[in-house]
């Protein structure tokens, strides 16, 4: 990845990730789908939860939201180590972007522990950006939890026909579209020149929206 202190970054320096899980508790639940969308293209990996060393439980509300059945995951899901290895190879050296990214990162860390695959140190120092940060900077008076649908409406001017909420790949792609719109706004708002809008500068400024 280009050094943030020397040059304008490229879109390939970023990757948007999204997960679907069996629930919200890292102690009981686990990742069953993960999507990674760098500057171009996308990866979607499904995990058969029965292949975890310590299989998780299902929260039925989570199952109803993401629509992932045991039958589908047995047929389409790979091993946690295989899927997480592919994810690691995609995100190494990239800034990680996501919506409510802290949840995804916590679940991915827990998934690594659950299958005794300790790869997390390879990406522990990656810069992280949450799309909600820029939203707070742009619309500080807006109330609510800044759900992804709200950000899609605000930044994209409406919901794309192709977007399927709570589908990991679709959510990653729409979050990438939101992120690109936020980048364009950040460049204009800060009047960054190409040699000044670095990864470090963007991360530091957008992080102020987390407060």
pLDDT digits (tens, 9 = 90+) for 62-86: 999 999 999 999 999 999 999 999 9
Average pLDDT in the 130-136 region?
Answer: 94
pTM above 0.85, yes or no: yes
Q: What is the pLDDT of residues 148-198, one digit of tens each?
A: 999 999 999 999 999 999 999 999 999 999 999 998 898 888 877 766 677
- Which structure tokens are listed for 128? 């992280």
Residue 144: per-residue pLDDT:
79
Compute the mean pLDDT over every residue in the chain, rounded to the nearest whole number.
89
What secondary structure, in 3-state letters, does 4-28 show? CCCCCCCHHHEEEEEEEECCCCCCC
Beta bridge partners of 98: 130
Non-local (6+) Cβ contacts of 56 within 8 A are: 22, 23, 28, 29, 30, 49, 114
**Are the C-beta atoms of residues 36 and 82 closer than 8 Å to each other?**
no
- Decide if 100 contacts 178 (C-beta within 8 A): no
Mean pLDDT across 33-48 = 94
Q: What is the 3-state secondary structure (H, E, C) of 107-156?
A: HHHHHHHHCCCCCHHHCCCCCEEEHHHHHHHHCCCCCCCCCHHHHHHHHH
């Amino acid at each position: 990845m280009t050094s943030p202190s020397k040059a304008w970054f490229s879109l390939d320096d970023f990757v948007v990730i999204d997960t679907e899980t069996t629930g919200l508790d890292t102690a009981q639940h686990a990742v069953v789908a993960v999507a990674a969308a760098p500057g171009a293209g996308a990866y979607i990996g499904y995990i058969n939860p029965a292949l975890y060393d310590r299989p998780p439980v299902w929260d039925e509300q989570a199952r109803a939201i993401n629509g992932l059945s045991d039958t589908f995951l047995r047929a389409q899901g790979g091993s946690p180590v295989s899927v997480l290895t592919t994810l690691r190879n995609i995100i190494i050296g990239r800034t990680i972007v996501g919506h409510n990214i802290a949840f995804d990162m916590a679940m991915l860390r827990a998934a690594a522990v659950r299958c005794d695959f300790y790869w997390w140190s390879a990406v522990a120092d990656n810069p992280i950006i949450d799309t909600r940060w820029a939203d707070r900077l742009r619309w500080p008076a807006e109330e609510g939890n800044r759900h992804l649908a709200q950000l899609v409406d605000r930044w994209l001017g409406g919901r794309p026909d192709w977007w399927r909420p709570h589908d990991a790949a679709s959510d990653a792609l729409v979050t990438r579209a939101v992120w690109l719109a936020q980048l364009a706004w950040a460049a204009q708002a800060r009047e960054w020149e190409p040699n000044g809008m670095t990864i470090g500068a963007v991360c530091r400024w957008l992080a102020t929206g987390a407060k």
